[in-house]
Each structure stands twice: as C-alpha cells, then as structure tokens.
Chains A and B, each alone.
Chain A
Amino acid sequence: MASTFSFELIVKPDRCFRLGRIICWRNKERKVMSTPNFLAYTVRGSVPHLTPDNLREIPVEALEIPLENFLDIQPPPSSLYPHGAHKFFNFEDFMLFFDIRDPGEFKKASFNTDKIVSVSTLQGVCKITSDTYVKYINSYNPDAVISLADMTTFEKTPGLKRIKKSVNRTLDWLDYALANIKEGIQVFGAVVGHNNHEERIRSAQETANKNVAGFLLNGHGLGATSRERLDLLKISINNLPNDKPRIAYGFENPVDILRGIFEGIDIFDGSYPSKKTEEGNALIFTLENEEFISDDTEKSLLLYLHDEKYKTDFRPLLSSCKCYACRNHTRAYIHHLLRTREMLATVLLMSHNLYHYTQFFKKIREHIEKNRFITFVDQFCQRYDDTCESKTIYQIQ
C-alpha cells in the first residue's frame, strides 16, 4: 500500500526558525501536522484525564505513545490487537508517534549494553533488545517511530569513551530499525553526543546520512542551564539538513519552547500541559504580540488553582479562551474540585491546558508567517522570563 511522508517548509526566513508541515498519507488517509508543534503526551495510551470526546474538542494533530508504558507484560497484549495502535487507542485521526521511553518523565532505569536498552515499567526495570522493539513497533503500526537511543541522561559526567559508545550504539540500532521497520512507518533517528562537540557533530552527520524521516534531539540531562542545553543542541542542529523535521525533548516552559523554535526545532514533547495539570496549575500566558490586557494574571504564566483566593472568583480560567473548561466553568468551581479531590478538576484543567498549548503553537506559526516572530519572542521573554525556572539572560542577536 502506498504511503508517503513529507516535510514541507512553508516559510524559511534567514534565521534558523521555520514554518512547515508534515503530510502523511497512509491507507488513503491524509494527516497533516503543522510545525512548529508538539506531540500530545500520553500515558498508557490515553491523554491523561481526557476521554475521546473531550480530547476531540482540542485541535491536537499528533500524539506520542511511549512503548515502555506497556512493557510490564511482554508481548504487550495491546500489540496483539489485529487492527493496529491507531484503532486500539482510538487515535485514528491523529498522526501517531512511538518512542521507547516516556519523554516527560525519564525515570532512571538500569544501564544499557550493545544489545539492550533498559526501560522503566510498572513491574520495575526491564530490558528490551533492538529486534524486540522493532517487532512490537511493527505490530502497533504507528505513523512514525523514534529509533532506540543509548541515552547518557543519568550519567553525571560520561567520559569520551562512553559518549563515543553511545553514538555508535545509537547508529547501530538505527541501522537495524531502518532495515527492519516495516514500510509505511517512518523512522526518526536519535541524535546524541552528550556535551562533546565533536561527537554531537559526528552523531548528527552520520544520522543525517541515513534514510531517516527526521531527527530526535533529547534535551533531558543536558547542560546546566537552558541556554547551555540549547547551545549543545545547536551544534547538532547546525549539522542536520533543513528538509527534515526535528523533534526535541525536555523543553518545558513556553520561554524555552520559543528559544528552541528560534534555533530551529520543529516539534516538542507535550508533557508540559500534563505536568501543570497535576500541580493544579492553569496555563494563562498571553498569545498576542500587543500589550496584554491587564488583570490579576499579568506577568504570570500560570494560575495556581489550589489558592484560597479563587474560592469566590467566578471568572473563567482565561477570559479570552474558547476551551471547554473556560466556556463552561469558573475558577471557583475548579478550586472547589481541587479542594475536594474530585477527578473533574484534572479533566477541566487538562482540557484547558492542552487547548491553550495548541493555541500557543498556532500563534507561533501565525507570527512566523506574518514575519513578527522575533518581536513576539522578544516581548514574551521580557514579560515572562523571570517567572520561568531558567533565568538565563537571552538576547536575540
């Protein structure tokens, strides 16, 4: 069956950032993912707290499933479902990516070997070989898969020998995946190299030489500050071709996301809205270029709904927001739901947070298209930088 996967650049300014889209044709169905964008985060095959009707209210285009969520039983029973992951998880209308690890929560597993990657499951650490990974992915049949990577995330100061080994292993596993993943599933190559410039260049160049659909850059455990991390990833990006999409993990708050996009990242992991939901926070950062209409939310990225002050606040989370929660409910109600530990609290917060995140990326794409992205990043960082965890001073050259 004919299937195609293409990445088109719509706007490529002089700088690194770009506007593009992935078009995926499979089984006569066309799915489009506009970039910059994110892969909605899932746990055990569902977007946390959202039943399919609630998820469909949110313009998410692509999702990512971490295989390690299912490896407590092998082979995972869901991989035996005859009609593939899209149908099993009811994700038929989304572009579906698989990876081995959970991109939002890199739990420390054990060490890897040439043959084995350690992952974390409900039953504890488990080891998976390259061929088992490929076998499971082939039966789940997603649109795209990230090839196995020998991550050095949990090693404080890996030596050159270790970094070289990680680059070599990751390339070997990529070769195996490219040769054995069945047709129709796109393979993304993981670019590694930790903090070693030469190895980052070698990993990027060698991965780029292979027939991959795109690249994964893992920012977890890299650099002491977000600026340092981005500088290391830039070394990789500078050695990647322009015509393929780049996914990055570990970029969380919107300021970091904007900086990542500025340096040429197209797709991010979508764990941020879930993490904020679990904390009881609502995302409320502005999406516009112009000066922000001021209310009590000025200069803050988040609304912490546990706070007693929302007890009689009968406004929506964000007055301009069109999500289900904001159209129907008040801050006071969500505060009440959190206080009483009612599950609807996270349903409503997740509905809002995920929706707001999609709108954030939509605005970013608009700003790039209308040639005002730089101003937007500039104003956004000025407004919010000191409210983010990373305090690196960033200047646009």
Chain B
Amino acid sequence: MKSALTWEIVAQCSRTKARVAKLKLPHGVVDTPVFMPVGTQGTLKGLTVKQLEDLDCQIMLNNTYHLGLRPGKEVLEEIGGAHEFQNWKRNLLTDSGGFQMVSLLKLACITEGGVEFQSPHDGSKMLLTPEHSISLQNSIGADIIMQLDDVVSSLTTGPRVEEAMLRSIRWLDRCIIAHKKPESQNLFAIIQGGLDVNLRRRCIEEMKKRETPGYAIGGLSGGEEKDIFWRIVTLCTDLLPKTKPIYCMGVGYTEDLIVCSALGVDMYDCVFPTRTARFGNALTSKGTLNLKTSKFSQDFRPIEEDCDCLTCKTFTRAYIHIHSTRETVGCHLITIHNVSYQLRLMRNIRQAIIENRFPSFIIQSFKDLFDSVDKYPKWAVNALNSVNINLTSESKNP
C-alpha cells in the first residue's frame, strides 16, 4: 500500500539488533529509536507547544477516542485537523481508539463488526468499526495512524487469542480500504497473537503481505511476565521486514526502552513519564525521586545535576517540593523534566549506537539504575543475553 514516509537506517549496532534511523514523516524528520510522549486530549499535560519544541520533541501522540468525543470530528474537520487545532507543527500519531474503549469502558463488547460500547454521555449503544476509526483518524490528520485491532488482555489464553489475531487481520484489510489519505497519513498494522509464538508468526506472515508503511507490536505491556514479553518482542523484530519502522506500544520505563532498543524496536509511547509527574515523581538515571516527600524540603540541588532542562537549570528540589501536587507549576516543572529525561535517554541511545558503543552504554546505564548487579531484573539479563550482551559478567569487568 501507499506510504507517506521514508525510512533510512543510519547506523546499526555491531552486536545487538539496535539501529538508528531517520524516519521522514509529513511534519518533519523523526530520529529513531524514539520515545513519543502522550498528549491524550490534544495537549501534553500542561506543556505549551513551544516548550515541547524547545525539548526537541519530534512526534507526539493524541488519542483518537478522546478527540472523537471532544472536540469531536466536526470541529476538527472545520479547523483542518489536530495539528491546526493544537497548533503543533511537528508530527502526530493517533491510536485507533479501540484500546481505550476496552480499557476505559467496562461495557465494551467486541463483535466482527467492531467494538460495541455504551456512550459515556447518554448510555446509548455505539459501535466503533474499523471504518469509523479510520475516518475519525483521517479527520484528525495524524502523520501515523493505527489500525483498529481486536485487543485482548495479554493474560488471556485459549481460542479467544487466536480469534482476536485473525480478526485483527480482517480489520486491517477493512482499515486499508477505508483509509482516505494514504498519501499524507501512514497506516500501521498491529501484530497480535498474545503470548503465543505461533500465533504471532502467523499474524506477521499475513500482515507483512499488506505492506503497511510500518508495524506495531500490540497486545503487550498488560501485566504479562517480562520474560515472556521480551521473547515476543524479539520474535517480532526478527520476523518483521527490516526496511520498516517497528513500534512497541505502551513501553516507557528506562530499562524497557534500553532493552527493547537492543532487540531492534524503533518507536515507543507511554503515559508513565507524564502521569507519574503529576504525583510528584521525577525520573533520573539513578531512579525515581518522589519530590512530595519531606526529605526534599531542604534539598537545594537540582533534580539531576547534568540535566539541561528548564527545570534543572532553574529550580532546586526544595522549590519543586513546595509546589509538587499542590500547584500546577510543580507538575509542569516535573513534566518538563520527565519528558526531557525520556528524550535525552533516547538521544543517548542513538548516539551510542552511532558511535558503536551501545553495549557499554547499556552496561553503564544498568549500573546507574540499580544499586548492585544482583538487583538487575532477570528478564533484562536474559533479553540482553539473547543479543550477545552478558549484563552480569560485563558489569563486573569494567
């Protein structure tokens, strides 16, 4: 199918499956691996678009379900899409809306037609079909749009998982037909199949034939064992075409981003950095600081000494402590730092891959993040082992 992106691999790690690429989208270049912050309702949690540009954020997420409810399709069409509506000149990605229906609405029910749910406004029965999702995403106008998939919890077992996988393929075909703007919006397929290796293989085989501009790994980060999670991720990156971007949905913790990048994933999104900021949690390379706690009331250091974000250049932990969870400014300052932290982490990952020192970058990052080797998560050790990095022994021999 048509594509509105170009994908150029710039560097490849000589040991792991990690790669750096330039993803050219209608609203500018995105350097991958990339973390995409989530601006659910057409705004990134109190940050201005200028602040996001200053942080060099190249792509942000909006949620289709939320924008469909408010401001609604008509308003978006009248102003010419979500970029115009929120005055964001860079790239946008929208999800299909299906995941929100299933996770937010208890009464959602999935049929071959689509996702049936009760309107949160008047309780009337509504149906989100693949056609409706794409039509809404066409009105929003994001640079990357996602197919409607049949989402089952990653903990589900039995025939329902296969059914969801097969239906997702059928829905992908309906989405491709419904897609009105393939020359300006890139439709990504979503690989389903739960934790079953064979289902994943079959799904990839079929979806590859559709030749969408990119692929997402769906149905993970739902509470499954991390040791199974990474095996599914690495299977997908092995089987998917190397010539297209791979997006792992819902991933955002530091160690997950590092490991998945080593496994060959290019794109991530997660609400965690911005959500946790609202609870007063600041991310650092040495772990999270809860700035609400009174031990920071006289801590006159910045959140992170070597961070160059507005927050760290201007304010002490003690100042943010006064504001955290009480004044919106406290939340804004931590959000700025956390987004800056995520983008800096991804920049550092890319730089390490380009300079062919990604393995030593991984070793150092884990040393910073965890107090001692025996605290390294086992799944991460196993995952990295699969791409020729022995985290435990290499950490001991500097």
Do A and B pair up? The answer is: yes
A48 close to B70 (CB less than 8 A) = no
Binds A, one of B211-219, B228-236, B317-325, B371-379: B317-325
Interface string of B294-336 (1 = CB under 8 A from A): 0001101000000000100011101101110011110111001
The answer to whether residues A314 and B323 also contact, given A54-B48, A344-B47 and a CB cut-off of 8 A, is no
B66 close to A44 (CB less than 8 A) = no
Residues of B near A73 (CB, < 8 A) are: 297
Residues of A near B315 (CB, < 8 A) are: 90
Interface string of A222-257 (1 = CB under 8 A from B): 000000000000000000000000000000000000
Distance in angstroms between the alpha carbons of A329 and B83 in the assembled complex: 12
A343 close to B297 (CB less than 8 A) = no
- Chain B contact patch, size range: 35 or more
Nearest A residue to B41, CB-CB? A340
A49 close to B328 (CB less than 8 A) = yes
Interface string of B74-100 (1 = CB under 8 A from A): 110011000001110000000000000
Distance of B324 from chain A, by nearest CB (Å): 10
Contact with A46, one of B50, B54, B321, B329 (Cβ below 8 angstroms): B329
A337 close to B49 (CB less than 8 A) = no
Distance in angstroms between the alpha carbons of A78 and B298 in the assembled complex: 7
The answer to whether residues A342 and B41 also contact, given A44-B323, A328-B49 and a CB cut-off of 8 A, is yes
A81 close to B300 (CB less than 8 A) = yes
Distance of A277 from chain B, by nearest CB (Å): 11
A46 close to B45 (CB less than 8 A) = no
Interface string of A373-396 (1 = CB under 8 A from B): 000000000000000000000000
Distance of B384 from chain A, by nearest CB (Å): 38
Is B46 located at the chain interface by the 8 A CB criterion? yes
The answer to whether residues A77 and B75 also contact, given A90-B314, A340-B70 and a CB cut-off of 8 A, is no
Is A94 located at the chain interface by the 8 A CB criterion? no
Residues of B near A363 (CB, < 8 A) are: none
Nearest A residue to B310, CB-CB? A53
A333 close to B87 (CB less than 8 A) = yes
The answer to whether residues A340 and B66 also contact, given A49-B328, A51-B336 and a CB cut-off of 8 A, is yes
Contact with B322, one of A45, A314, A324, A348 (Cβ below 8 angstroms): A45
Residues of A near B78 (CB, < 8 A) are: 312, 314
Interface string of B45-79 (1 = CB under 8 A from A): 11111110010000000000010001100110011
The answer to whether residues A44 and B300 also contact, given A328-B49, A332-B79 and a CB cut-off of 8 A, is no
The answer to whether residues A344 and B318 also contact, given A46-B323, A48-B328 and a CB cut-off of 8 A, is no
A328 close to B87 (CB less than 8 A) = yes
Distance in angstroms between the alpha carbons of A159 and B327 in the assembled complex: 40
In B244-295, which residues have CB < 8 Å from any A CB?
none
Distance in angstroms between the alpha carbons of A336 and B86 in the assembled complex: 10
Is B43 located at the chain interface by the 8 A CB criterion? yes
In B347-375, which residues have CB < 8 Å from any A CB?
none
Is B42 located at the chain interface by the 8 A CB criterion? yes
Distance in angstroms between the alpha carbons of A346 and B333 in the assembled complex: 15
Distance of B26 from chain A, by nearest CB (Å): 21
B318 close to A77 (CB less than 8 A) = yes
Interface string of A34-48 (1 = CB under 8 A from B): 000000000111111
Residues of A near B47 (CB, < 8 A) are: 344
Is A339 located at the chain interface by the 8 A CB criterion? yes
Residues of A near B322 (CB, < 8 A) are: 44-45, 70, 78
B318 close to A324 (CB less than 8 A) = no
In A62-88, which residues have CB < 8 Å from any B CB?
70, 73, 77-78, 80-82, 88
Contact with B46, one of A329, A340, A347 (Cβ below 8 angstroms): A347
B50 close to A324 (CB less than 8 A) = yes
Distance of A274 from chain B, by nearest CB (Å): 12
Is A111 located at the chain interface by the 8 A CB criterion? no
B329 close to A49 (CB less than 8 A) = yes
B310 close to A78 (CB less than 8 A) = no
Is A9 located at the chain interface by the 8 A CB criterion? no
Is A52 located at the chain interface by the 8 A CB criterion? yes
The answer to whether residues A343 and B42 also contact, given A45-B322, A78-B319, A332-B71 and a CB cut-off of 8 A, is no
Interface string of A321-342 (1 = CB under 8 A from B): 0001000111011001101101
Nearest B residue to A81, CB-CB? B300
Distance in angstroms between the alpha carbons of A97 and B328 in the assembled complex: 23
Distance in angstroms between the alpha carbons of A347 and B46 in the assembled complex: 7
Contact with A339, one of B48, B70, B297, B336 (Cβ below 8 angstroms): B70
Is A89 located at the chain interface by the 8 A CB criterion? yes
B327 close to A48 (CB less than 8 A) = yes
Is A275 located at the chain interface by the 8 A CB criterion? no
Residues of A near B319 (CB, < 8 A) are: 45, 78, 88-90
Nearest A residue to B49, CB-CB? A328
Is A311 located at the chain interface by the 8 A CB criterion? yes
Residues of B near A77 (CB, < 8 A) are: 297-298, 318, 321
Is A50 located at the chain interface by the 8 A CB criterion? yes
Residues of B near A311 (CB, < 8 A) are: 71, 75
Residues of A near B66 (CB, < 8 A) are: 340
Distance in angstroms between the alpha carbons of A44 and B326 in the assembled complex: 9
Residues of A near B323 (CB, < 8 A) are: 44-46
Nearest B residue to A327, CB-CB? B87
Distance in angstroms between the alpha carbons of A54 and B326 in the assembled complex: 19
The answer to whether residues A46 and B327 also contact, given A51-B333, A78-B318, A347-B48 and a CB cut-off of 8 A, is yes
Distance of A31 from chain B, by nearest CB (Å): 19
The answer to whether residues A88 and B316 also contact, given A54-B48, A311-B75 and a CB cut-off of 8 A, is yes
A48 close to B87 (CB less than 8 A) = no
B51 close to A53 (CB less than 8 A) = yes
Residues of B near A90 (CB, < 8 A) are: 314-315, 319
Can you identify 25 A-B contacts, CB atoms within 8 angstroms? Answer: A44-B323, A46-B329, A47-B329, A50-B329, A53-B54, A53-B310, A54-B48, A70-B322, A77-B297, A81-B318, A82-B300, A88-B319, A311-B71, A311-B75, A324-B48, A336-B42, A336-B70, A339-B70, A340-B41, A342-B43, A342-B45, A343-B328, A343-B331, A346-B328, A347-B332
Q: Given A80-B298, A332-B71, A332-B79, 5 other A-B contacts at CB below 8 A?
A: A43-B327, A46-B323, A328-B48, A336-B85, A344-B46
Chain B positions within 8 Å of A, measured between CB atoms, are: 41-43, 45-51, 54, 66, 70-71, 74-75, 78-79, 85-87, 297-298, 300, 310, 314-316, 318-319, 321-323, 326-329, 331-333, 336
Chain A positions within 8 Å of B, measured between CB atoms, are: 43-54, 70, 73, 77-78, 80-82, 88-90, 311-312, 314, 324, 328-330, 332-333, 336-337, 339-340, 342-344, 346-348
